[in-house]
Amino acid sequence: MENYEIIYKDIEEVEDLENIVKRVFGKCLEEENLIDSKLCITVTFTNPENIQNINKEYRNIDKPTDVLSFPMFQKEELDKKIQKKDFQYQDILGDIIISISKVEEQAKEYGHTFERELSYMLVHGFYHLMGYDHIEEQDKEEMRIKEEKILKTLNIVR
């Protein structure tokens, strides 16, 4: 059983994307000791128009963005579930929506590979689903440390 589902919304399917998703989420789940958790993530790859519509509908921000995350659990609820190892049934950890053209644009802008930018979006989205945020500076630092550790372990560097 895979721990992810990939949806392509109004863009062409790209086989290489699935390989990146599998590798990145596998390492994220391993790092968080969740390999046997039965947690599943839905990843939707889409275009700027679709992500702008979703951003407007759910966040009242009428502009395209790179990645959106919609967790199914509050951090405290998920932490309890993890602590109790309460994974008898498959649970949806949440949804991550990524604008592929924004990933391509940002990879060029930041001077690194498409794989690096997409991997960062996936890890970033994963930790949002895990209840991490970057509103407060301390929380942002904690999240960045986790993200960079995953990417470094996978040897996906800038």
pLDDT in tens, 95-139: 999 999 999 999 999 999 999 999 999 999 999 999 998 777 787
Give the chain's domains with CATH numbers: 4-153 (3.40.390.30)
pTM of the full predicted structure?
A: 0.93
Neighbours of 25 (CB within 10 A): 25
Q: Give helix 100-110 / helix 48-59 axis angle, nearest 10°.
A: 100
pLDDT in tens, 37-85: 889 999 999 999 999 999 999 999 999 999 999 999 998 888 888 888 7
pLDDT of residue 136: 78
Overall residue count recorded for the chain in this entry: 158
Give the integer Cα–Cα distance in Å for 151 and 52.
27
pLDDT of residue 38: 84
